Chains A and B, each alone.
Chain A
Amino acid sequence: MRLWIRCAWPLACRSRPRSRKAVAAVSLDSFVEAIDRLRAEAAGTLQTAADEGALEKARVNFLGVKSGQLKELQKLLSGLGSDDRPAGGKLFNVAKAEITATFALAQDRVASSHQSGVQNAEAIDVTLPGDRVRMGHLHPITQTIRRVQEIMARLGFESVDGPEVEDQWHNFEALAIGAEHPARDPLDNFYLAVARGADPLLLRSQTSTVQIRVMERRKPPLRIVSLGRVYRPDTADATHYPMFHQVEGLLVEPDVTLAHLKSVLRFFASSFLGGDVRVRFRPSFFPFTEPSVEVDMEWGGRWIEMGGAGMVDPAVLEAVGYDPDKVSGFAFGLGVERIAARRYGVADIRDFYRNDVRFLEQF
């Protein structure tokens, strides 16, 4: 088998046999004259070439491989009589070496003038736009979540996720939300048409479900951040959307107090907002924490509601098999859209879900 193997680079190096054309007879005198004329012309042009463009033009003209003037002269060689041909060849080679050397000199000259900037080379308009690379963008909600994750990771909180379709146990019962609690109303939840036996399934209404799942699997100490989409049947308006994102933190260890919660949230607020940010607790009510508080952070001289928090209710610890006399914990939840809206000046949270590239490209 015969191989067709060629050098790969440059690809165009492959040589093909060319058809020979008959060349008209030329006298040595006229050949010498042509050579002298070319040498003079080349010297003049190359020595005055002001920039790389002119130089390149001259190179193609004189030294061009396909149809440069030297090439044309070389073709004339074959038109010389056989006695004149060695002399003509010699002359040609000398001329070629001279022009090549002149070109190299001119090249050096142009390059150095280029470097020193002395020559009045055609200046480019430096205000013209560069060849920009189009960069993509992470959604501002994702960026906010990552920021929260990163700050909490510095405190040893690990990010976890869990299923979005949940059962009654994880979404309500284990979180101490009893059957009579208004939060379980079918109108306040997205229940699935299918059920597991008698247990209706629903889209989770909070990411606390993930905390229950983690506590069921692991023993304290525990530091986790659960995050993801949650669903509540709110009519969409500037501050509500039936699908939104939550980040919830949970810490369960021996001897944890409300003071630890406040300190962690102050660390978070200072890291997230920058500077030494004060945190304020207002008493509140959530079924799965006791005491429960609303968390305000001081932002721009005002108290801004950041989310809910509290000490994990002993009933929740018991539900996952922990002993509330031996370990205690705290939990907090942040509404990602609310933080992101404030951070980026988004007045209508529906904008986060329009997926308009003109919006997304700003973050």
Chain B
Amino acid sequence: MIISMNWLADYVQLTGVSVPAVSLADMLAERLLMSGLNHESTRAIGDDTAVEIEVTSNRPDCLGHIGVAREAAVLFSRPLHIPDPRPLEAGGIAAESIAVEIRSPECCPFYLARVIRGVHVGPSPSWLVERLATVGVESVNNVVDITNYVMLECGQPLHAFDLQKICGGRITVRRATAGEPFVAINHKTYSLTSAMCVIADSEGPVALAGVMGGAKSEIAESTVDILLESAQFAPLAVRAAARGLVLGSGSSYRFERSPDPAAVEWASRRAAAMILDTAGGVLERGVVEAGTLACSPVAIDLRHARVAQVLGIDIPQPRQRAILAALGFAGLAAAGPMAVGNTPCDRSRWQSPTWRRDVSREIDLVEEIGRIEGYDQVPEDESISAQPVELSAREQAIRIASSVLVSAGMCEAITRSVVNEHMEATRSPWSDGMPLSIAPALVRGADRLRRTLVPSLLEARASTLAVGAPHGELFEVAHAYLSRANPDVPLPQPRARPANATASEESILEEPLLVSLVTGGEFASAKGLAEAMLLRLGVGGDRQSPAVSVCVEFRPLELDLFARGRAAEILLHRQTQQGERIGVVGEIAPAVLKRFGLEGPVAAAELRLDRLEWAVGVDRLLQQPSDFPAIQRDINLVVDIAVPWSNIVAAIYSVSHQATGLGHTGNDNILEECRLVQVWKDETRLGIGKKSVVVSLRLRSHVGTLSGEEANRVIESIVVACGQRVGATLRS
């Protein structure tokens, strides 16, 4: 909303309020800024000044000069002058010239028409042209300019029709029929929908209600008789038309925010009087009305003590009352025994002015008092009590995973949650369900909620490498979005009131929290990063003994995202529970790399932090390191090529946890570490279908120094176990 300072002076005289070196416009802008009307800009235009302000959607009254003048009058304690136009009615009876019928009162509660005959349409007087120019409105002709002027004065949009172009002597306010054509003032043809409301004559729409007039009945030089429309249009219908047809106007903007109902009648009078003054003509007697003006002021009780309870400042009751009265609130006889005569009391009752429909509750009155008194009065040294606070398990899990990857030299990316078809072409590790789609698209083509972060990171890697970045080692922590596996399960009904259901119970979808990474390397590089995260989260490690209730298993995985035979799912086994998939890791399939324009090898891993966050809550107790010396022994086992490392480890640990008959206690794990040294294959030396696995074992006791003899016995039993469990023989 642009305010002309000259125009504003018609309603409120602010001369003398400014201090030297500060212009009146700047002074006003500052005060308006601090009371709720944001200042955008101030520009000198001729001898006038244009002050542009931002008006929040709850204040349609300030979409007119009078509303802003009222605020200024209150802020500077100046009187407000609002004209009371009384146009002379002299012609025939308006109701005999035109009939009005409202067929869709939900779109148009009230319609008021005046008829002026014999006008001279022509250029506007210079004062009018200048005022409109200050506020950025181009002059069209005197009649159209006046309708615009009155809208910018009081916030009520008006429309003038060429009465002779209205066919059938009757206008009908109704919903448009689907596909009904309408030629607007801009001479473009629009196809309407039944959500929109039109003003129609016997031949069809002559205006898109509250949005734009039609070309057929527009005011031209040849126009002689005018139908002046002032009406109430419902926000939803106006918005449907303005947004649906991309036809926003000053009129639709105001109707979407419900202007002052009392202004409907005032604006009609005001415009009629101004047209008579500037374009001549004769105003027919009476008005033509249809419908009922929607205006239902409510009584609001104010407990004066609430002001201090909400704002934290004491404002004396007389000041509270004065502010409300100045803003146009009418004091009513207060309810209850406390209200006696004029004696200040705990409680007072108020009726909002018609232009302040946003004020309907006590808290709204408190806000009015506060904003006029000024929030600069609110103290800023109030203390609050101390309270303990802890990072949630989820937040801790995020930080642990991120810190591992940052330590490993990776950069955190933030990619879009919504991706295009091309990015969702591969299957998700987390769901076989289709991706959910949204409208409109987030950016062009991106209308699918992603089910994995890996493709987004591949794209980011490709784009950063394409611009010559030193590397493309990236990770991200974000949600994926999975539709529920079985859509046939009846869904809980939406709630009108809150119940105690948790988000996951009530949602048709799951939002797993993922940490994903892409790295230029082979399977083992991504697996190493995944393992490091798992270890830090407290669930990793090779040790698979009953004493440890949690273990992680890597199992071969086929997924089109990954190269065949070079990917794994990560399963978490917790006590009696079945293994749960907590992650995937693998080398990206060549076809996928090609799609993203990447050169291989590239490996990726993705973990479900939502399934791991419990682990951060598990207390970690010190495992006292042994002070006794360790014995390191390597064993070279020959096994079938098909035997996985995990089976060998399991065989080795199947021995170590048991008491080895060495006089140590059963809990004393002699085997401290079991490390793979190398794997090699050589048909001539090992035989066909065999591989050699060299394992380094570190033995140590917590209760004494192991003798070589004791160590040999442990190693012997490990080798025996490996022979029994995985068919291993010792290579000499």
Contact = CB atoms under 8 A, between A and B. Distances in A.
A161 B609 CA distance: 14
Interface stretch (B110-118, B273-281, B409-417, B575-583): B409-417
Contacts of B402: 138, 142
Interface in A186-211: 186-187, 190-194, 196-199, 201-203
A14 to B, nearest CB: 10
A221 to B, nearest CB: 8
A352 B460 CA distance: 12
Chain A interface: which size bin?
A: 35 or more
Interface string A27-71: 000000000000000000000000000000000000000000000
B494 A168 contact: yes
A313 interface: yes
A223 B367 contact: no
Contacts of A258: 310-313, 370, 375, 378
Given A136-B410, A285-B58, A291-B366, A180 B715 contact: no
B712 interface: yes
A321 B495 CA distance: 14
Contact of A213 (B33, B503, B720, B731): B503
B464 A356 contact: yes
B406 A259 contact: no
B494 A198 contact: yes
Contact of B438 (A174, A193, A280, A290): A193
A194 B367 contact: no
Interface in B366-409: 366-367, 370-371, 375-376, 378-392, 394-395, 402, 405-409
A242 B363 contact: no
Contacts of A290: 363-364, 366-367
Given A257-B309, A260-B384, A282 B375 contact: yes
Given A5-B715, A136-B410, A231 B436 contact: no
7 contacts: A159-B392, A165-B481, A169-B496, A190-B440, A243-B442, A259-B382, A283-B34
B361 interface: yes
Interface in A265-310: 266, 279-285, 290-294
A243, A259, A361 pick with most chain B CB within 10 angstroms:
A259
Contacts of B468: 358
B311 A257 contact: yes
A263 B379 contact: yes
Nearest to A217: B500
Contact of A355 (B34, B463, B498): B463
Given A161-B394, A193-B437, 20 more contacts: A4-B635, A5-B715, A6-B634, A133-B409, A134-B471, A138-B402, A160-B392, A169-B495, A197-B491, A203-B438, A231-B418, A231-B442, A233-B440, A257-B311, A258-B313, A259-B313, A282-B38, A285-B57, A314-B363, A360-B412
Contacts of B437: 192-193
B665 interface: no
Interface stretch (B178-186, B199-207, B472-480, B565-573): B472-480
A257 B310 contact: yes
Chain B interface size, under 10 / 10 to 19 / 20 to 34 / 35 or more: 35 or more
A9 interface: yes
Contact of B415 (A3, A137, A192, A353): A353
Interface string A131-161: 0011111110110000001000101111111
Contact of A313 (B363, B413, B719): B363
A114 interface: no
A89 interface: no
Contacts of A260: 312, 382, 384
B438 A182 contact: no
Interface stretch (B148-156, B507-515, B654-662, B683-691): B507-515
B386 A135 contact: no
Nearest to B716: A3
B642 interface: no
Contacts of B712: 3, 5
A176 to B, nearest CB: 11
Contacts of A5: 633, 635, 712, 715
Interface string A104-120: 00000000000000000
A182 B442 contact: no
Nearest to B361: A314
Interface in B422-448: 436-440, 442-443
A266 B380 contact: yes
A3 B443 contact: no
In the A-B complex, the 8 residue pairs with the smallest Cβ-Cβ separation, listed nearest first, are: A259-B312, A156-B387, A257-B312, A199-B494, A283-B36, A285-B56, A136-B406, A281-B375
Contact of B407 (A136, A259, A355): A136
Contact of A216 (B370, B383, B467, B498): B498
A282 B507 contact: no
Nearest to A11: B634
Q: Is the interface of B mostly helix, strand, loop or mixed?
A: loop
A255 interface: yes
A338 B378 CA distance: 26
A246 interface: no
A283 B442 contact: no
A263 B730 contact: no
Nearest to A354: B463
Given A8-B634, A328-B309, A263 B381 contact: yes
Given A136-B407, A201-B508, A162 B439 contact: no
Nearest to A320: B498
A199 B492 CA distance: 11
Identify whether the interface residues of A are mostly helix, strand, loop, or mixed: mixed
A236 interface: yes
B632 to A, nearest CB: 4
B239 interface: yes
A339 interface: no
Contacts of A160: 392
A139 B414 contact: yes
Contacts of B363: 290-291, 311, 313-314
Contacts of B28: none
Nearest to B730: A4
A290 to B, nearest CB: 5
A163 interface: yes
A123 interface: no
A197 B507 CA distance: 12
Nearest to A284: B56
A279 B379 CA distance: 11
A154 to B, nearest CB: 9
A158 B392 contact: yes
A218 to B, nearest CB: 11
Contacts of A255: 309
A357 B415 contact: no
A135 B696 CA distance: 31
B389 A357 contact: no
B380 A361 contact: no
Interface in B687-732: 696, 712, 715-716, 719-720, 730-732
A294 B36 CA distance: 9
B193 interface: no
Nearest to A183: B57
Given A182-B256, A263-B379, A291 B463 contact: no
Contacts of A231: 417-418, 442
Given A138-B402, A139-B413, A357 B472 contact: yes
A231 B442 CA distance: 8
A293 B413 contact: no
A202 B436 CA distance: 11
B236 interface: yes
Given A213-B503, A360-B412, A355 B474 contact: yes
A162 B381 CA distance: 32
A284 B34 CA distance: 9
B361 to A, nearest CB: 7
A186 B438 CA distance: 11
B509 A291 contact: no
A213 to B, nearest CB: 6
Interface in B288-321: 308-313
